[in-house]
Amino acid sequence: MNIIFHLMILLYAAWISANPEFNSTQLRFGYSSLTTPTSIYDYDLNTKRRHSKNRMKVLGGTFDSQNYLSERIMVPSRDESTNIPVSLVLSQRL
13-21: average pLDDT? 87
Structure confidence by residue, pLDDT tens digits, 32-86:
999 989 999 999 999 999 999 999 998 887 889 889 999 999 999 999 999 999 9
* Per-residue model confidence (pLDDT) at position 76: 96
5-29: average pLDDT? 83
Secondary structure of the chain in HEC code, one letter for each residue? CCCCCCCCCCCEEEEECCCCCCCCCEEEEEEEECCCCCEEEEEECCCCEEEEEEECCCCCCCCCHHHEEEEEEEEECCCCCCEEEEEEEEECCC
* Per-residue model confidence (pLDDT) at position 25: 92
* Per-residue model confidence (pLDDT) at position 9: 64
Boundaries of every domain in the chain: 12-91
d(CA 48, CA 34) in angstroms, rounded, equals 27
